[in-house]
Amino acid sequence: MSDPFDVLAIAADIRQGRRSAVSVMTETIAAMQVRDTSLNSVTRIFGPRAVGEAERIDRRLAAGDDPGPLAGVPFGVKDLFDVAGEVTTAGSVVLRESPPAAHDATVVARLRAAGAIPVASLNMDEFAYGFATDNAHYGITRNPHDTARLAGGSSGGSAAAVAAGLLPLTLGSDTNGSIRVPASLCGVWGLKPTLGSVPREGAYPFSASLDVVGPFAGTLDGLRVAYEVMAGGPMPELPAASDLRVAKLGGWFGTNLSDALAGAIDAVAAHLGGLETVELPEVARARAASFLITAAEGGTLHLPRLRRHALRYDPATRDRLIAGALLPSATLVQAHRFRGWFREQVHALFRSADVLIAPATVGEAPSVDQPTIVVDGQVVSARANLGLYTQPLSLAGVPILSAPLLGTGGLPLGMQLIAAPGREAALFALAGALARAGLVGRVPLPAAKGR
């Protein structure tokens, strides 16, 4: 049987007749029904329709047709992507009575055209506003490595489903870190592509000027193929990793790290021959600007519905959206002006480096019972602050790959690989080299929790 984490191995088994698409799909559904009860990563299973699509894949193969590179691969979608015939709730009961989607989101349609099959919608923070996947309507998604801990968010259901081996491929969105944070805490691969490079049509928006959609996967090769399908074409040929100039972000990105995380990043730097440490100016202001832009754009989007149905929102989400809607326009203008300046500072670093490395979170996943982290000696909310290292970088619109670190001896930890816009190929080249060296890769579950 193929590796449940390996997109390409599953597709190869189906294409070569070692397994049928129907058997893969029925096993996937059965596993979700049994094993997700302890995780709460899944909100809905598209059972009959998914099996029906698997049957069509098997018929096409029997007739000698090519269903595509992802033939029969089951995938899940963060519950803000349209799947034709299903209601898109964006993690909220506010949208539960909306009409079903008339069309698939563009990236869902592209994955289906490549042979993949959507089988489930996945839990998220309500309207993607949070880093914890603590949802007042659908419950908390728990970390497969330790169910007493958070999976991270807002795409926590997507990361947890891959980490648990329930799905080899899932979709998420990233505004301020909502792919990178849960990928790090759950020990899987995640990609935030270049802003604007992957179509967002059919994905419920949060912050129109910051939102990016991207994949999670159990293998780097699976992540690459999924990204290429979603982007509508192959990347340029990967450069030689040995030719890449790599630097480490310091300053803001070198404080508040756990000892294990600092040690793992140092090990990567040592393997690469020792890295120059570079710093970005005004990172705290960048994070503040990202907060303001997100709040204002999200609040403005939701204001008409808040006026009618405020009490149906999660109170924590509602209050932040209302506060964002009340921000003065001059404040938002200043935040966008600063964003332009900060983006230039980030892009300037790529004159002397091809890839930057930085931590993805401050350390291991916080506990569900005490969802806090320590920043500058202060205990603060994890839901609002897990994006400490991801949020500032969102302003620059650059591609960022979240690579799970190996050899830390405990719970998953993650590292951001950052490149200039359109340079995803450099990220995959460096990640591949680090994976071959045994420094990064999907973090295995404790033996008792594996499939």
Please say if the pLDDT value at position 448 is more than 70. no
Question: How far apart are alpha carbons 8 and 73 in whole angstroms?
Answer: 8
pLDDT at 2: 74
Catalytic: which of 20, 92, 154, 173?
Answer: 154
Angle between helices 47-62 and 7-15 (to 10 degrees): 50
Catalytic: which of 178, 184, 197, 258?
Answer: 178
Distance of CA 90 to the CA centre of its chain: 15
Residue 103 Rama label (left phi>0; alpha psi -120 to 50; beta): beta
- Tell me the pLDDT tens digit for each residue of 23-55: 999 999 999 999 999 999 999 999 999 999 999
Question: How far apart are alpha carbons 83 and 48 in whole angstroms?
Answer: 14
Catalytic: which of 20, 78, 155, 192?
Answer: 78
Please say if the pLDDT value at position 109 is more than 90. yes
**Among 414, 431, 418, CA closest to 194:** 418
Both tokens assigned to 315: 């109170």
Contact assessment for residue 92 and residue 138, using Cβ atoms and an 8 Å cutoff: no
User: Residue 1: which pLDDT band, with cuts at 50, 70 and 90?
Assistant: low
178 is catalytic: yes
| Residue 233 burial (10 A CB sphere; 0-12, 13-18, 19+) | exposed
- The owner of tokens 């995938």 is 75
154 is catalytic: yes
The pTM score is 0.97
Q: CB count, 10 Å around CB of 62? A: 10
2 is catalytic: no
pLDDT at 193: 98
- Tell me the pLDDT tens digit for each residue of 370-422: 999 999 999 999 989 999 999 999 999 999 999 999 977 789 999 999 999 99
Both tokens assigned to 22: 């129907």
Torsion over CA of 372, 374, 380 and 382, rounded to 10 degrees?
-40
